[in-house]
Chains A and B, each alone.
Chain A
């Protein structure tokens, strides 16, 4: 029982990143009714950008370590935002008036293009990882509160995630563009008739969603040290997609809640492994789906999903 708080913290950390990626799925769906399958791959590109930036400066003393982290985060976000806009402009916009299935298949095509095309561009053999030293000694310092072990880097990741979410919330609910975005989500054609520049709104949606994915990729790759391949975004992408559906796809607080539920559920399943004879850890992904199915049975629109309140 005494491991429960630690596992909760583990789960929240995992879930925060799922939430960040899920936001991109949910925003794009809200505006275009499109599942952007390439979103997980944008996350992968974000991690790679962070890696290349870190390799550029890590051995030179021109940049302060914390400055380097900031540059990595910003380059990943900017790079991914541009990539997201480019994908929308080249692959989705020309097909906007075709059947939804065509766009969906195109999204899978873009996803495969990034995964296999990435093999030609990115270093994959052996898979590179972002060095631990990038985080500097201060962030690597471990501390213990009431039996919960953490390092400062994880606190920073949580804070940055939270700040990004609050900024997004402010943007969507308190600005003119945010209001236009909500209008487009509610009714694409009517919003256009009312003078909303829908193309601009769609571009901005992709820009923000992809930037958040880039931030998630950078932070996960830096904190966890996972070696990067072009398939780096596959599993987190699937998990975040489930999180978005779980929370009610198209709903922003829902995506955050869904991400956190997914992360905590995974950690809980592994925690429960302590109390049973057989191996439970293999079922951690199954648990996520069981939760998804259960919630969808009782609330088909997802936790926060209601048809009128998209984005």
Chain B
């Protein structure tokens, strides 16, 4: 039997290794960015080519988001080069696949910096992959800007690390505010994916913020990534008579939860975070997900002019509109970096780091971006409503600082 156990363990491990995930952690901790200057001075532009590295999940579980990300970045760079580049200097992208795996992200970053001599890096969409990659970039002194890593501690790695998206801290607090003020919910139950640091972090912030706004968290139940049947947990939540359900996990599990809650009779509005962002949610959630709300970076359906222009250009170039929000945030991440190139006093890594840090009111597709002292993008969050036609913009919540008391 012992041998059998080992064999199962092996099989399970292999499966886990294969099933990489869009992991991120968060937490209610106040963000402190260490005043650590990078140990090295990175790379400098040589000749007429500005080399920028990209790390993205072009294979593996995160492929749909990774592909979108690269397309958004390529669009931004093509527009930059078509407009004449930087005084005749053209940007060249060097793209590396991370295969949705953290260790591959790290080695790709090392290769881009040490071998290809890039002056800056854009990536990754997942916090779990950005983390080790950003540590490498910080060590070499090459700026890295992540389009999609929402985990709070990413930018705490050091001064070379930035992001173009909001943090889970703001996301959780914003959804708590939305639930309390806009939906007038007072008694919310939480369902958390215990195996995903992203989910536990988001739940913690939501709980703290919602309680602070004056609401009550009536119960929190847990599940693990890969759970099939949520009816036992939903039965428990039903006994507490909540008037809302906050699901901080990913769409893979949120869909079945939405479908199964109807069976159990938990007929209350559901809310969640950007982990819901996949059209697959409509299919797996069925009727149960209609009328729910979640926070996201952007939506192709927004009527802001910059959004419509972006969607049109993206569709022109790639033959299809961006499938996920990662197309737009990655376009913005590239936009912030290219804008910094124009303002940089010296065309090398330290000069670009300083210029990114000075970004103010950059007109991004996902909203106006200001890089705060902590390296995070301060920008509004979009609340989407899930309807039968898709995810429709419902509300915008301006940036605010949430501090846990």
Contacts and interface: CB of A to CB of B under 8 A. Distances in A.
B65 to A, nearest CB: 9
Main SS class of interface, A: helix
A26 B157 CA distance: 52
B236 interface: yes
B262 to A, nearest CB: 7
Interface string A122-134: 0011111101110
Given A35-B4, A151-B263, A231-B18, A279 B11 contact: no
B222 A234 contact: no
Given A142-B265, A227-B252, 16 more contacts: A6-B235, A6-B264, A108-B10, A112-B11, A112-B14, A125-B63, A129-B255, A132-B285, A150-B263, A151-B263, A226-B284, A227-B256, A267-B231, A271-B235, A281-B221, A284-B232
Contacts of A224: 228-229, 256, 259-260
- Closest 4 A-B residue pairs measured CB to CB? A132-B286, A129-B284, A270-B232, A225-B259
16 contacts: A10-B235, A13-B229, A104-B7, A111-B11, A124-B61, A126-B278, A127-B252, A128-B283, A224-B228, A225-B255, A225-B285, A266-B232, A271-B236, A273-B221, A274-B236, A281-B194
B399 interface: no
B351 interface: no
A3 B256 contact: no
Interface string A95-117: 00000000010001001100110
Interface in A46-88: none
B194 A3 contact: no
Contacts of B233: 270, 281
Contacts of B280: 126-129, 227
A144 B267 CA distance: 14
Contacts of B259: 132, 224-225
A106 to B, nearest CB: 12
A195 interface: no
B236 A273 contact: yes
Interface in B221-251: 221-224, 226, 228-229, 231-233, 235-236, 238-239, 251
Nearest to A11: B232
A142 B286 contact: no
A130 to B, nearest CB: 8
B232 A271 contact: yes
B98 to A, nearest CB: 14
Interface of A: 2-3, 6-7, 10-11, 13-14, 35, 37, 104, 108, 111-112, 115-116, 124-129, 131-133, 140, 142, 144, 149-151, 154, 220, 224-227, 229, 231, 234-236, 238, 241, 266-267, 270-271, 273-274, 279, 281-282, 284
Interface string B48-78: 0000000000001111100000000000000
A281 B283 CA distance: 27
Given A108-B11, A115-B15, A227-B284, A279 B222 contact: yes
Interface string B91-135: 000000000000000000000000000000000000000000000
A271 to B, nearest CB: 7
Contact of B15 (A234, A236, A271): A234
Interface of B: 4, 7-8, 10-12, 14-15, 18-19, 60-64, 194, 220-224, 226, 228-229, 231-233, 235-236, 238-239, 251-252, 255-256, 259-260, 262-265, 278-280, 283-288
Contacts of B260: 224-225
A238 B12 contact: yes
A274 B239 contact: yes
A289 B318 CA distance: 51
A267 B279 CA distance: 31
A150 B262 CA distance: 9
B283 A125 contact: no
Contacts of B255: 129, 225, 227
Contact of B256 (A140, A149, A226, A274): A226
Contacts of A270: 221, 232-233, 235-236
A249 B64 CA distance: 42
